[in-house]
Amino acid sequence: MIRDPQSILWLNFAVGVVSGAGWYWYQQRNSSEPLKKSVLSLASKESESFRNGSASASTSSLYSNTENETSFQAALQSAVIDAASIKVDMGVENSCLPKENDVLLASSSKSHADNGQASVLSQVNDAFQLSTAKLHNLVRAFIAEYEKGLLAENHTLKMLPSFAKRPCGSETGTYIALDLGGTNLRVCEVQLEGNGQIRSSGQKFTVPESLKKGKGDDLFDFIADCVSQFINVRNLSKESKLHAGFSFSFSCRQTSLQDGYLLLWHKGYECDDVLNKNVVELVNEAFERKSVGVRVVALVNDAVATLLSSAYVNPECCIGVILGTGTNAAYVEDLDRIPKLKTHEHNASQTTPEIPYSPLRNVGVPPSPINPPTRTMVINTEWGAFDNRRVILPVTSYDYQLDRTSSSPGIQIFEKMVGGMFLGELCRLIFLDLVKAGELFNGIVPASLEVSCNFLTAYMSRIGRDHTDELMDTKLVLEGLLDIQKTTTLDRQIVKRVCALVGIRAARLAACAIAALVIKINKLSGCTVAVDGTLYEFYPHFRSHIRDALSELLGISADKISLVSSKDGSATGSAVAAAIAASLIPA
């Protein structure tokens, strides 16, 4: 007889899911639209049952990582994905929160109401709001995808081994840190003082658009020139080469902390001749060509670097998140929970792989009596690629449009709904639709809005901070910066609403990915999540929107998750990686 309340809760839920799955199978065989709709409502009711009072208890028990619950989790997750595919089949992009009693929507939809149509603004309003039930579905799907990515290579979520472990905070030394993001290159001088203290100062360079699409050598020469300028101005040149860490925000398959082969470009980069090449060799060759006295000794993804930087200072930090041009995350994983590492070891002993792959080499500090072999490794999730097939993400026609016209169609779909590079463009596409429907700017398309990427995400931040009655700063953005003539207060209210819908959706989606990681690594009892990126830093209330969604998802456990801003952590963390790597290089 089962008496333990957690087991009873778990059992009830399992029975519910199994009967739900059976019922769903029956519906599939006799598929008819009304019944499918019922399945959807069942799926969302099931999600609702996570909420409120028992949320944290049910969340932790339902998503627990223990062995005997794995098959239950798999059943649950596949049921959720199935329900999501029905949603897409039916073309229902969003169930929605109850409609607000909203003067803005009412006034903009007046003419449509007269002929029985919903206004475009009200459709956008519905399509961009994500209910708590939807967030729960996304969390489950994320957990399932994280696990699949750890199991085998070439899964949508790559879950790439970084060969870095959490630092202990006693690493010391002065290093050059390079951070190539989607928009900027940061070069820093970083002093690791031990005792978890970091001093750093640096310079930001904007990467010219032409170099993002040209030859790889030109891009790496640009990096070498920036580093040369930086060390000359500061008089840092020495007889022996300075050691550097390289934080690189694009997917690389790493074979050690010192080697990484580029898998794909995104965020507007298209230097195709770099694909499959070792980026550490390429940047070091550029330093040789330009006679720069620096050598990169460690390569890390920027999310990994953010985690390392924060973990150096705070032992509670186990997740690093990027919310800048794009989005990504890294976390600390047990080696035993990365099955694909074992497969690699096995394959390596059977064949001679093209790329030398030695998973347990160079993971953090070398094993010794003082430093026993580490049992953890930082994993780069590459979560921007979540649901590239668009089965469960609440994609709208605007997301499809943005993807089609991007430099990398069909990939990084989650990133395109969250990253700073894309949010302004989504707003622009919505504005154009509203203008065409006669709901904005008197139905006249402003020339500036016809140019792609002309509505910057930074404008969204500015408009989000405009709390004047007449939205005067919004007026300055629209009329002054974008040259849109004679906007009305209603125009500006609509623009502000669209920006908020796009921004809040991004924050809530990011919260799902974070909650799923926290649950996956069993840290509901408490952990620190370090976040770097200009979007997180400057978008008004982005952090509060993430926090709200975390509370909806995790109940009181959300209070135990501390979100900390790790400004420039993606740069300084590469110096931490360099310190770890330098300790591995024979003197």
- Please say which residue, 134 or 545, places its beta carbon nearer to ligand ADP: 545
- Please say which residue, 72 or 538, places its beta carbon nearer to ligand ADP: 538
Q: Residue 6: helix, strand or coil by DSSP?
A: helix
Minimum separation from the CB atom of position 329 to Mg ion (A)? 13
Q: What residues make contact with ligand ADP under the rule CB under 6 A? A: 181-184, 324-325, 420-421, 457-458, 461, 533-535, 538-539
Residue 556 and residue 514: Cα distance in Å, rounded?
A: 16
Alpha helices in 155-215, H assignment, sequence order: 209-212
- Eight-state DSSP code of residue 241: P
- The 3-state secondary structure of 294-329 reads EEEEEEECHHHHHHHHHHHHCCCEEEEEEECCCEEE
- Please say which residue, 271 or 377, places its beta carbon nearer to ligand ADP: 271
Q: Which of ligand ADP, Mg ion, none has residue 183 at its interface (CB below 5 to 8 Å by kind)?
A: ligand ADP
Positions in 324-343 near Mg ion (CB under 5 A): 324
Question: Is 181 one of the binding residues for Mg ion (CB under 5 A)?
Answer: yes
Residue 169 and residue 315: Cα distance in Å, rounded?
A: 8
Cα 112 from chain centroid (whole Å): 37
Minimum separation from the CB atom of position 517 to ligand ADP (A)? 20
- Please say which residue, 181 or 364, places its beta carbon nearer to ligand ADP: 181
Question: Is 572 one of the binding residues for Mg ion (CB under 5 A)?
Answer: no
Minimum separation from the CB atom of position 181 to Mg ion (A)? 3
- Eight-state DSSP code of residue 517: H
- Please say which residue, 120 or 322, places its beta carbon nearer to ligand ADP: 322
Minimum separation from the CB atom of position 193 to ligand ADP (A)? 25
Other CB atoms within 10 Å distance of the CB of residue 26: 11
Residue of minimal CB distance from Mg ion? 181
Query: Contact, 314 vs 298, CB < 8 A?
Result: no
Minimum separation from the CB atom of position 453 to Mg ion (A)? 19
**Which amino acid makes up residue 328?**
N
Minimum separation from the CB atom of position 536 to ligand ADP (A)? 8
- Please say which residue, 324 or 364, places its beta carbon nearer to Mg ion: 324
Cα 143 from chain centroid (whole Å): 14
Q: Which of ligand ADP, Mg ion, none has residue 461 at its interface (CB below 5 to 8 Å by kind)?
A: ligand ADP
- Please say which residue, 344 or 496, places its beta carbon nearer to ligand ADP: 496
Minimum separation from the CB atom of position 534 to Mg ion (A)? 8
The single residue among 77, 570, 572, 574 that binds Mg ion, judged by CB under 5 A, is: 570
Which of these segments, 104-112, 294-302, 354-362, 371-379, binds Mg ion (CB under 5 A)?
A: 294-302
- Please say which residue, 311 or 322, places its beta carbon nearer to ligand ADP: 322
Q: Which of Mg ion, ligand ADP, none has residue 458 at its interface (CB below 5 to 8 Å by kind)?
A: ligand ADP
Q: What is the dihedral of CA 376, 378, 379, 380, to 10 degrees?
A: 180
Closest CA to 460 of 422, 512, 403: 422
Which of these segments, 214-222, 229-237, 295-303, 426-434, binds Mg ion (CB under 5 A)?
A: 295-303
- The 3-state secondary structure of 519-549 reads HHCCCCCCEEEEEECHHHHHCCCHHHHHHHH
Residue 546 and residue 583: Cα distance in Å, rounded?
A: 38
Minimum separation from the CB atom of position 373 to ligand ADP (A)? 34
Minimum separation from the CB atom of position 573 to ligand ADP (A)? 12
Q: What is the dihedral of CA 494, 498, 504, 505, to 10 degrees?
A: 140
Residue 529 and residue 566: Cα distance in Å, rounded?
A: 9
Tokens at residue 524, please? 């509901």
Total number of residues that touch Mg ion (CB under 5 A): 4
Q: Residue 482: helix, strand or coil by DSSP?
A: coil
- Please say which residue, 327 or 570, places its beta carbon nearer to Mg ion: 570
Residue of minimal CB distance from ligand ADP? 181
- Eight-state DSSP code of residue 207: P
278 Cβ partners below 8 Å, 6+ apart?
A: 259, 260, 261
Minimum separation from the CB atom of position 326 to Mg ion (A)? 9
Q: Which of Mg ion, ligand ADP, none has residue 359 at its interface (CB below 5 to 8 Å by kind)?
A: none
Q: What is the dihedral of CA 175, 180, 185, 190, to 10 degrees?
A: -20
What are the residues binding Mg ion (CB under 5 A)? 181, 302, 324, 570
